[in-house]
Amino acid sequence: MPNLERDFVPDVGISIGAPNGRGIGTTQANEIFDSIQGSKAIETGVLEHIEDCSIFIRGVGRDKVSDMTTNVIRKNLIEYTQDQCDLHNIPMREMTPTGACWNPATRQWEWSHDRMLVIDDRPILLVPKSIVSYGKNYTMDRYHRHFVLDYIRKDQLANNGPFVQRKKQKDGRERVWVSKEDLRKNVAPAEKDFIAGFTQQHGNVFASFKEWAAKNARSLENHEINSTLDIAQISNFLLDKLQKTPTGNDHASDYHKLIVGILEFIFYPNLSCPKKEREINDGRKRIDIVFDNSARDGEFYKMHQVRKISSQYVMVECKNYGNEIANPELDQLSGRFSVNRGNFGLMLCRSVKNYDLLIKRCRDFYKDKRELIVPILDRDLAIILRRKSESPSERPEEDLLRDLIREIIMA
């Protein structure tokens, strides 16, 4: 059995086949530390965030940044792994060494034991796919080529610098340009110390680069995580499971588990990190499912940005009913709302006899308490899953949410 205290160095990345990342060992850690200490980025003070190491520190690329980030947030990833294993009933090993976890309060690395997912005697950390991206934009090469050289080229043109070239064209007009390759060879090498020195003098250029990179960052799509993933096949499978799950209390647990999977599938990456049966108010109440609202666009994003309805979390109640959702059920979900948790939730149920009455009840909650409860029935999920199976790139879930919200609010 490996020495877990020594060997547990997690690595975030995407591999073909089995992961083969080695993470950061003691030798590499010392080399990186020496490189950071001796870098111009530290001397000039331009290094502010861990992701900036890939821009300014020799020997550090995005793979090593992801390794270092994983080590810093390991405690959070352990908690996320525990939540997901509890959600899907995956057994964990008690009292397993966690490895070093960073404590921001004490600013110290701390070792402890906890419930861990262990496979083949190796502790495994699960990572929310919504926070993982290729990071192809945040690189020294992009910063150097598209921001640093652009700035110097424009400066040369504006001040008629020595690298400005001119050529008379046949029509009599003069062509004026600056070659980026000339700049790279003579005054602006793609070297990290030069990049650090330039950034010290022109911090606004680096700020523009970071803003551009942030706008272009996105969560990984499902097919990027697994190229064999067949969205149509998954949609049809989930729809078949939904149609074959009986209503009633005897099958409430089956319905509950299925809904977690369906919602995570159709609303990714806008909803992430699901937790089930989370206790609130010192355990006196439970929420069936809680999702993080991680939307950057669409209806979940508009909820707090446009409609001004607190929705940092989205609470979900699952009722395996086949007749009616009345005020007691809506009151139950409403009772989960708060300033800190949010005032937006989804009520999942199989079908209702009087749909107009259900909408009217949801409308009353919105008018009286500024709380938005959106009911989603089997028929709604079926429409979404069928459309996804026919056209995986479409977002039918956005159409559904928009229509339901409008029906409730604009009465």
Q: What is the pLDDT of residues 45-77, one digit of tens each?
A: 788 888 888 888 888 877 788 888 888 899 999
Confidence of residue 23 (pLDDT cuts 50, 70, 90): low
In the predicted structure, residue 216 carries a pLDDT above the cut 90: no
Phi/psi for 98 (5° steps) reads: -85, -20
Provide the pLDDT for residue 1. 28
Cα angle: 172, vertex 174, 177; to 5 degrees: 155
CA 119/CA 389 separation, integer angstroms: 33
**Residue reference for tokens 């490895």:** 99
Q: Does position 191 have pLDDT exceeding 90, yes or no?
A: yes
Over range 119-141, report the average pLDDT: 85
Write b or e for each residue in 377-407: b if 16 or more Cβ atoms lie within 10 A of its Cβ, otherwise e.
bbebbebbbebbbeebeebbbbebbeebbee
- Mean pLDDT to the nearest integer, 221-242: 80
Mean pLDDT of 311-326: 90
Q: What is the mean pLDDT of residues 346-371?
A: 94
Q: State the pLDDT confidence band at 391, using cuts at 50, 70 and 90.
A: confident
Considering the chain, what is the average pLDDT of its residues?
85
Q: 5 pLDDT band (50/70/90 cuts)? A: very low
Residues contacting 166, CB < 8 A, separation 6+? 174, 175, 176
CA distance 52 to 49: 5
Q: Measure Cα distances from 149 to 67, 207, 233, 296 in Å.
A: 30, 15, 47, 31
Strand partners, 291: 314
Task: Specify the pLDDT at position 284.
Answer: 47
Sign of CA dihedral 209, 211, 215, 217: positive
Return all residues near 134 (Cβ < 8 A) that are at least 6 apart. Answer: 14, 220, 224
Express each pLDDT in 133-173 by its tens digit: 766 788 899 999 999 999 999 999 999 999 999 999 888 89
Structural domains in the chain, CATH included, are 4-131 (no CATH), 140-216 (no CATH), 230-409 (3.40.91.30)
Of 77-91, 174-188, 281-295, 327-341, minimum mean pLDDT range: 281-295
Average pLDDT of 232-253?
A: 93
pLDDT for 148 equals 97
| pLDDT for position 276 | 75
pLDDT band for position 386 (50/70/90)? very high
Tell which residue, 119, 58, 111, 136, has the closest CA to residue 85. Answer: 119
Q: What is the pLDDT of residue 63?
A: 78
With a CB cutoff of 8 Å and minimum separation 6, the contacts of 276 are 86, 87, 256, 260, 288, 289
pLDDT at 62: 77
- Total length of the chain: 411
Going by C-alpha positions, the residue among 26, 23, 55 that lies closest to residue 39 is 55
In whole angstroms, what is the distance from residue 391 CA to residue 384 CA? Answer: 10
Distance CA 408, CA 374 (A): 8
With 90 as the cut, is the pLDDT of residue 3 above it?
no
Alpha helices per DSSP H over 88-137: none
Position 11 confidence tier, pLDDT thresholds 50, 70, 90: very low
- At 400, is the pLDDT very low, low, confident or very high (cuts 50, 70, 90)? very high
Calculate the alpha carbon distances from 313 to 6, 96, 396 in Å. 37, 31, 22
- Using an 8 Å Cβ cutoff, are 398 and 364 in contact? no
The answer to whether residue 308 scores a pLDDT higher than 60 is: yes
User: What confidence tier does 282 reach under pLDDT thresholds 50, 70, 90?
Assistant: low
CA–CA gap between residue 331 and residue 337 (Å, rounded) = 10
Question: What integer pLDDT is reported at residue 296 of this predicted model?
Answer: 87
Q: Mean pLDDT across the stretch 197-220?
A: 89
67 SS3 class: helix
Express as a percent the part of the chain with pLDDT over 70: 85
C-alpha to C-alpha distance for 59 and 56, rounded to whole angstroms: 9
Report yes or no: 269 and 128 within 8 Å, Cβ to Cβ. Answer: no
Helix or strand or coil: residue 322? coil
Give me the pLDDT at residue 52, please: 87
